[in-house]
Amino acid sequence: MTPTISVQQLSKTYEVPEREGGFSAAVRSFFKRKYKDVKAVQEVNFNIEQGEVVGFLGPNGAGKTTTLKMLSGLLHPTSGTANVLGFTPWELKNDYLRSMTLVMGQRNRLSWDIPAADSFLLNQAIYRIPDDEYKETYKELDELLELEPLMKKPVRNLSLGERMKCEIAVGLLHRPKVLFLDEPTIGLDITGQARIREFLQEYNKRTGATIILTSHYMADVTALCERIIIIHHGQLKYDGGINDLSKKIAPFKLIGVLMENADAHDLSQYGEPVENMEDADKKFIQVKADEVTRITSRLLADLPIRDITIADPPIEDVIEQAFNA
Amino acid sequence: MHSLKLIYAFLKMNIQMSLAYRADTVVNILLNLMWLGWELLSLNIIFSNTQTLGGWGIGELIALLGVFRLVNTLMIALIWPNTEKFNQSIRDGSMDYTILQPANSMFLVTFSRITVWRFWDLILAIILIVIGINMSGDLITAPQILTFILLALSGIIVIYSLWIVLIALTFWFTKFDNNVTILQALLDAGRYPATVYPVWLRVIVTFIIPIAVATTIPLQALRGELAFNQVLIFFFIGVASFIIASRVWKSGLKRYSGASS
């Protein structure tokens, strides 16, 4: 079976005008522009199967949004190919546009002055959704997102979280098979984030839709995605299971020990001490995965240990290390 | 067929948006009633001062005024509000959503905003054209009326195409907010029959600035002054300009998708 999304050697280079600060530089730049090439995405490869939920991670400016824009068809790549559901996205075929959606957390599709219900109907017309199918989809989305109370108020009177629910719903009215979500939880409070997350999980389970999402919130990714793709400086740094990430990128373990008279003992000779862990009673050190057994037995032999734990480091720290690698 | 459905959907939404703010709605209704009164008054002045201009009779002048107003309605009801929306959508990035909708983006950009308050402009324009034709006397034949309608539509398409090209330039220049000011300046030149201008200016007005194609030319067809091949040429200009505009729009979109981030 061919993958739902397949990307080969995808690259995007922007030409960005550049000038020094100051008045005379501004005048000079009016007559003669200097451009600088910015390599936003460089030779990225990956395949995504139907029904997968994949998280795109990377700091600001890493190339996540650029990649999503190429996959949705908004941007032509500088080189490389992509295939989504059998289409080349940037050809913008109507059949393709009807089977995918792009939701951008920072942009509005709904009209500000009128209730969302009216914008929904306009989208029904644009996407040529038959009435009965529209009603059915709406009912289902309402069940999952509790839309009904939000539908009658002008969009400008909705809270950010409520508006985001509607923005996501309007993007799903045509039952897309592939969802590109760029920061769908941005600016939302913890409960708001959790709601969107639960919804996406349930939606994926019910419809088997393929989802790619970018997020700054690690919790989004750890809760939703079994697989993550890390992009940094436009390059793919990691592609794989979220659980394998620590093995590959940071083959470290955390050893936590509970001791009598803990402050009297210096652990730095055994491994790198780690501060500010949740469990305040214990002292933690980070050691290489293949040295865990050796160091554990040394610790047990040398120190008055009451309890010892061995665990993977938190995913946030691992990803942080991946960026810096 | 689906295009009509979409226009209907846009129209409905624009009426809803126009009614969203109560005070704004009331002011709009009052303002437009005042406008209508003023328009009727000024028409009365024109009617009561029977004169000829550049060899044109009063009936023809009234029909010309009607055609000019038709173009003006197009400007006020569609071109101005949609330009504003377009420029804004380039700036705030909502253009991205327009491009990703499964419909012709040029069509969406043309009809997404409609100034519904000026619907009476359209009716007034049509009434003026009908009165004008009637006043021109019995000399006018049915084929003349048909070519007149055909060329008036073709002229409106020329102006529309010019607009599309002007706003599509924004894809290259990122900011080009004066796009419609240029168009309006060109259109104002078409307020009088092209024959009142000296010959050299007439050539410019007719061929370089195509406003005459939308106003004077259809009137000449109405008077039976155009040969069959001339009618064909002007009709062809309408078709050609639409094709060119669609091409420019498409390459503009390509440029947008190549450069934006």
Residue A25 sits in a domain whose CATH number is 3.40.50.300
User: Is a pLDDT exceeding 70 seen at residue B190?
Assistant: no
CA distance A179 to A173: 12
Question: Is A219 found in the same domain as A98?
Answer: yes
Mean pLDDT (chain B) is 82
Question: Is A256 found in the same domain as A241?
Answer: no
Last residue of a domain, one of A186, A216, A245: A245
Q: Which of A133-137, B62-66, B215-219, B255-259 has the lowest mean pLDDT?
A: B255-259
Whether the model clears a pTM of 0.95, i.e. scores above it, the answer is no
Q: Which of A61-75, A264-278, B9-23, B188-202 has the lowest mean pLDDT?
A: B188-202
Q: Chain A residues contacting B, CB < 8 Å? A: 14-15, 40, 66, 69, 72-76, 90, 92, 94-95, 97-98, 102, 104, 106-109, 111, 113-114, 118-119, 121-122, 125-128, 154
Distance to chain B for A104, nearest Cα, Å: 9
Q: What is the pLDDT of residues B219-249, one digit of tens each?
A: 888 888 888 898 999 899 899 999 999 999 9
Return the H-helix or E-strand segment holding A179.
strand A178-182
The 3-class SS string of A49-82 reads CCCCEEEEECCCCCCHHHHHHHHHCCCCCCEEEE
Predicted confidence band of residue A174 (pLDDT cuts 50, 70, 90): very high
Question: Is A198 found in the same domain as A319?
Answer: no
Predicted confidence band of residue B35 (pLDDT cuts 50, 70, 90): confident
User: Is a pLDDT exceeding 80 seen at residue A217?
Assistant: no
Question: Is A288 found in the same domain as A151?
Answer: no
Q: Which of A168-177, A195-204, B62-71, B85-94 has the lowest mean pLDDT?
A: B62-71
Chain A residues lying within 8 Å of B100, measured CB to CB:
72-74, 92, 97, 102
Chain B residues lying within 8 Å of A126, measured CB to CB:
6, 9, 101-103, 108
Q: How many domains does chain A have?
A: 2
The residue among A24 and A89 whose pLDDT is bigger is: A89
B94–A107 CB contact, under 8 Å: yes
Q: Using an 8 Å Cβ cutoff, are A168 and A108 in contact?
A: no
Q: What is the pLDDT of residues B145-165, one digit of tens each?
A: 889 889 988 988 988 998 999
Q: Using an 8 Å Cβ cutoff, are A25 and A217 in contact?
A: no
CA distance B28 to A46: 56
List all residues of chain B from 97 to 156 with a beta carbon under 8 Å from chain A: 97, 99-103, 108
User: Is a pLDDT exceeding 90 seen at residue A218?
Assistant: no
What average pLDDT does the segment A208-222 reach? Answer: 86
Q: What is the pLDDT at residue A9?
A: 95
A114–B17 CB contact, under 8 Å: yes
- A90-94 own/partner pairs: CB under 8 Å, 24+ apart: A90/B257, A92/B99, A92/B100, A94/B102, A94/B103
Range of the domain at B8: 2-259
Q: Quick one: closest CA in A to B97, which residue?
A: A109
Predicted confidence band of residue B175 (pLDDT cuts 50, 70, 90): low
What CATH number does residue A313 fall under? 3.30.70
Last residue of a domain, one of A182, A210, A245: A245
User: Is a pLDDT exceeding 60 seen at residue B207?
Assistant: no
A40–B100 CB contact, under 8 Å: no
Residue A273 is encoded by which pair of tokens?
Answer: 């001490």
What is the b/e burial string over B87-124, where b = at least 16 CB atoms within 10 angstroms of the residue's CB? bebbeeeebbbbbbbbbebbebbbbbbbbbbbeebbeb
> Pairing relation of β-strands A210-214 and A178-182?
parallel
Chain B residues lying within 8 Å of A113, measured CB to CB:
17, 20-21
Question: Is A276 found in the same domain as A233?
Answer: no
Q: Give the nearest partner residue to A114 out of B9, B13, B99, using CB atoms.
A: B13
Chain B residues lying within 8 Å of A36, measured CB to CB:
none
Contact pairs from chain A to chain B, CB under 8 Å: 78
> What 8-state DSSP symbol labels residue A230?
E
Predicted confidence band of residue A24 (pLDDT cuts 50, 70, 90): confident
State the distance between the two ends of chain A, measured CA to CA, in whole angstroms: 35
The complex scores an ipTM of 0.79
Name the CA dihedral angle for A68, A74, A79, A82, rounded to a multiple of 10 degrees.
60
CA distance A92 to A107: 20
Q: Which residues contact A145 (CB under 8 A, 6 or more apart)?
A: A165, A168, A169, A195, A199
What average pLDDT does the segment A175-181 reach? Answer: 96
Distance to chain B for A217, nearest Cα, Å: 22
Chain B residues lying within 8 Å of A114, measured CB to CB:
13, 16-17, 20
Question: Is A194 found in the same domain as A276?
Answer: no
Of B58, B99, B42, nearest in space to B252 by CA: B99
Predicted confidence band of residue B193 (pLDDT cuts 50, 70, 90): low
Q: Quick one: closest CA in A to B9, which residue?
A: A122
B101–A127 CB contact, under 8 Å: yes
Question: Is A256 found in the same domain as A226?
Answer: no
Question: Is A233 found in the same domain as A128?
Answer: yes
Question: Is A187 found in the same domain as A316?
Answer: no
Predicted confidence band of residue A67 (pLDDT cuts 50, 70, 90): very high
User: Is a pLDDT exceeding 80 seen at residue B31?
Assistant: yes
Q: What is the pLDDT at residue B220?
A: 83
Q: Which residues contact B123 (CB under 8 A, 6 or more apart)?
A: none
Range of the domain at A255: 251-324
B100–A107 CB contact, under 8 Å: no
What average pLDDT does the segment A216-228 reach? Answer: 84
User: Is a pLDDT exceeding 80 seen at residue B138?
Assistant: no
Q: How many domains does chain B have?
A: 1
Helix axis angle, B119-135 to B22-48, nearest 10°: 10
Q: Using an 8 Å Cβ cutoff, are A181 and A103 in contact?
A: yes
Q: What is the pLDDT at residue A325?
A: 59
Question: Is A229 found in the same domain as A263?
Answer: no
Residue A179 is encoded by which pair of tokens?
Answer: 């969802």
B175/A contact by beta carbon, under 8 A: no
Distance to chain B for A47, nearest Cα, Å: 23
Question: Is A263 found in the same domain as A208?
Answer: no
B16/A contact by beta carbon, under 8 A: yes
Q: Which of A94-108, B69-83, B213-227 has the lowest mean pLDDT?
A: B213-227
Question: Is A265 found in the same domain as A238?
Answer: no
B101–A15 CB contact, under 8 Å: no
Half-sphere exposure (Cβ direction) of A240: Cα atoms closer than 13 Å: 10
Predicted confidence band of residue A249 (pLDDT cuts 50, 70, 90): low
Of A231, A241, A193, nearest in space to A52 by CA: A241
Residue A227 is encoded by which pair of tokens?
Answer: 């697989």
